[in-house]
Amino acid sequence: MKKLNIAIVGLGNIGSYLYKYLNDNKKILTEKNNCSPFIKYVSAKNKKRKRNIKINKEKWLNNYLDATKLKEVDLIVELIGGAEGAAKKLVFNALKNKKHVVTANKALIAKYGDQLAKIAEKNKVNLEFEASVCGGVPIIRSLKEGLIANKISKIYGIFNGTSNYILSNMDKQNKNFEEVLFSAKKLGYAESNPAADLNGDDVSSKLKILSSLCFNSFLNDNFHIEGINKIDKEDIDNANKFGYKIKLLGYAELLNDKIYQRVHPTLIKKDSYVASIDGVLNAIIIDGKPVGQSIIQGEGAGPAATTSALVSDISSILRGNVKFPFSLSNKERKRLKFKNIDDRFFSAYFRFEVIDKPGILSNITNIFSKNKVSIKRLVQNPNRNKKISSIIIITHKSRDKSLSKILKEVAKKSYIEKKPKLIRIDDD
């Protein structure tokens, strides 16, 4: 029986789960792949740290970079994390030394994926990163293999479980942002520093990788990014009244030969599929030809789901074929036009908290007409006790540049009590 020698570097949440999984399931994986996965070496930062797995002493490397030099190592699984430092050094050296690499490191692939793919291709080894995007949702393998026949025009959905948990529980449990964030941290659904989950950066890194796979292009940083930090309970309630849910959605779409990449809170119709995805789940929708629409959903993070993705990558390497990391040879990947969203059309939700005085509503609507944005619905909710009024406006489809201009212009007015809101609506 053929055997593949593996070095696992990083034995934290994910690495220790993978170690145990590979040992417990070696027989079935060997049968399915006709090659045996053998964990030859491991490494972590602190050899003496207490771990919940038993590892023979002889498996420990003296230095994590030895994995890249030892002749008997075929595959390195990088589970350190971070775009720089040890993880970067390990993966670059591994590929240069003709070792296959499997990684769960979204930060590293989003930043250095193009360079790494070039080295992997030159040295005819695999660089696999299914676990770097949406954990247990096999989106990368689906794009590279299952959906290979398709010309993809759009990929979108829910790519961050933490922000989806917060938005759906603000709605269901009738709680505000801070209350739900607190319980998310307590339940382990949000990290102690959840900034990247809440400000949209986590989604943009994932989408950057997927967008490049969908459109056969190099990785591109042209993104519009907004997070959920500014969404409050009133917005969720208003959305409900208008027949929408608010979700943090990521989109990469090809329109008239240009690619738009964006992440922002979005009002989406209550009866749509995406609106029904609650809690920590991820859900990805792909529009392609000839397939039509495909959807995959599942757990986006955590050791179990991430191990499922890692084992898929390891199995692919066990089966022996060398593939281009981004589906196409480096020479065939394109430099497409990535546009910012200024000239894309959206309908939008605006919320203005204003002093309750005559003349203000007409001043606001004048600013809309001056910017050629037509109003579809307008609701005014006065709060006589506080002497303020909440004005909600839903617009027809308009140029994004004009929508943002209105927001800025109204924000400067002396009658504004609270920073105005603009949330784009998905009614494509």
Ligand X SMILES: NC(=O)c1ccc[n+]([C@@H]2O[C@H](COP(=O)([O-])OP(=O)(O)OC[C@H]3O[C@@H](n4cnc5c(N)ncnc54)[C@H](OP(=O)(O)O)[C@@H]3O)[C@@H](O)[C@H]2O)c1
Which residues are tagged catalytic?
A: 206
Contacts of 30 (CB under 8 A, 6+ apart): 1, 36, 37
Here's the x/- map for ligand X, 87-116, by CB under 6 A: it reads as -----------------xxx----------
Binding mask 373-412 for ligand X (x = CB under 6 A): ----------------------------------------
Nearer to ligand X by C-beta: 134 or 354? 134
Cα(265)–Cα(164) distance, integer angstroms:
10
Neighbours of 388 (CB within 10 A): 17
Contacts (CB under 6 A) with ligand X, residues 245-304? 301-302
Residue 412 — left, alpha, or beta (φ > 0 → left; ψ -120 to 50 → alpha)? alpha
Among 1, 27, 46, 321, binds ligand X (CB under 6 A): 46
How is residue 251 annotated by DSSP?
E
Interacting residue with ligand X among 35, 86, 355, 388 (CB under 6 A): 86
Interface with ligand X (CB under 6 A), residue total 25
- Interface pattern 13-32 for ligand X (x via CB under 6 A): xxx-----------------
User: How far apart are CB 297 and ligand X at their closest, in Å?
Assistant: 16
Q: How far is the CB of 318 from ligand X (least distance, A)?
A: 21
Q: Which stretch binds ligand X (CB under 6 A): 3-11, 161-169, 235-243, 409-417?
A: 3-11
Residue 357 CB, nearest approach to ligand X (Å): 51
Told to check if 43 binds ligand X by CB under 6 A, we report yes
For tokens 């209105």, name the residue.
406
- Pick between residue 175 and residue 298 the one whose CB is nearest to ligand X: 298
Query: Pick from 302, 301, 403: which is nearest to 349 by CA?
Result: 403
DSSP-derived pairing of the beta strands 127-128 and 100-103: parallel
The label of the residue with tokens 């809440």 reads 198
Taking CB under 6 A as the criterion, which residues in 60-79 touch ligand X? 64, 79
Residue with tokens 């519009």: 224
Minimum separation from the CB atom of position 296 to ligand X (A): 16
Query: What's the rounded Cα separation, in Å, for the pair 159 and 273?
Result: 15
Based on the shown chain and the rule CB under 6 A, indicate whether residue 420 belongs to the binding site for ligand X. no
Pick from 37, 135, 138, 325 the residue near ligand X by CB under 6 A: 135
* Cβ nearer to ligand X, comparing 89 with 339: 89
Nearer to ligand X, 64 or 156 (CB): 64
Residue 11 interacts with ligand X (CB under 6 A)? yes
Contact in structure between 407 and 388 (CB atoms under 8 Å): no
The maximal CA–CA distance of the chain, rounded, in angstroms, is: 83
Considering only 131, 209, 246, 393, the residue that binds ligand X (CB under 6 A) is: 131
Pick between residue 65 and residue 225 the one whose CB is nearest to ligand X.
65
Position of minimal CB gap to ligand X: 12
For ligand X, which is the closer residue by CB, 65 or 375? 65
- Residue 10 contacts ligand X per CB under 6 A: yes
Pick 15 or 420: Cβ nearer ligand X: 15
Pairing assessment for the beta strands 3-9 and 127-128 based on DSSP bridges: unpaired
Backbone dihedral angles phi then psi of residue 348, each to the nearest 5 degrees: -145, 160
- The single residue among 238, 306, 308, 395 that binds ligand X, judged by CB under 6 A, is 306
Residue position matching structure tokens 């959920």: 228
The nearest distance, CB 302 to ligand X, in angstroms, is 5
Closest CA to 55 of 22, 81, 33, 31: 22
Edge-to-edge order in the sheet of strand 75-78: 36-43, 3-9, 75-78, 100-103, 127-128
Question: From the list 80, 166, 181, 252, which residue makes contact with ligand X (rule: CB under 6 A)?
Answer: 80
Our finding on whether 194 is near ligand X (CB under 6 A) is: no
Sole residue written with tokens 């309750």 = 356
* E-strand stretches of 107-235: 127-128, 151-158, 224-225
User: What is the three-class DSSP state of 409?
Assistant: helix
Among 81, 194, 265, 325, binds ligand X (CB under 6 A): 81
CB of 252 to ligand X, least distance (A): 20
CA angle 200, 201, 204 (to 5 degrees): 90
User: Cα 128 vs. chain centroid, distance in angstroms?
Assistant: 17
**Beta carbon of residue 224, minimum distance to ligand X (angstroms, whole number):** 24
Residues 6+ apart with CB under 8 A from 71: none
In angstroms, what is the minimal distance from the CB of 144 to ligand X?
A: 19
For residue 396, the 8-state DSSP code is P
Name the one residue in this structure whose structure tokens are 């998905």: 426
Q: Which residues bind ligand X (CB under 6 A)?
A: 9-15, 43-46, 49, 64, 79-81, 86, 104-106, 131, 135, 301-302, 306
